[in-house]
Amino acid sequence: MLTLTESTIRSSFVNASRKEVKDASLPPNLTEMTDDDFADLDLLGWRDATYLRRAYVVVPGLDDEPIGISLRQAEKAPRRRAMCNWCRDVRLLNEVVFYSARKVGPAGRRGDTVGTLLCRDFECSANVRNDPPPPYEGFDVDAARVRRIDDLRLRATGFAEDLVAGR
């Protein structure tokens, strides 16, 4: 992922009003993050410190320009143990919740949203870098890890593209 700054993040939001962007909290450790930290991130997600069910995620778009998304967490957690739709890690110890995002443009003004199940605290980048359990002898764990990273990027970018498709 590209190195992100406060101005890059705030200008990347596609489904938030100017006031929402101004009021949005930034990741708590943004100023301490280095280029190496961003190299291991496929997306940057964080929960808002002041608004209980609000969260944000910045994903690279198809042209590698960052796309910022304002998310809202559902009031209730899924009834059963759920799997994150982005990282699809089956050994998760972290909580998965339903997030929705308002679509961009006229569709969003009508109240249309797109939703998905995600890791509550956006651990997806770390999850896909964990070695998957080898299902058989001779399984290429390194290739599987690379495929999981690529799949995460495709799913996150696809979600962002679904939001702007309603323009």
Rounded Cα distance, 167 and 164, in Å: 6
Q: Which helix (H) or strand (E) holds 129?
A: helix 124-129
Report the relative pairing of strands 96-102 and 66-73 from DSSP bridges.
Answer: antiparallel
For the segment 9-32, the average pLDDT, to the nearest whole number, is 89
pTM, two decimal places:
0.86
pLDDT tens profile 115-147? 999 999 999 998 898 887 778 888 888 898 899
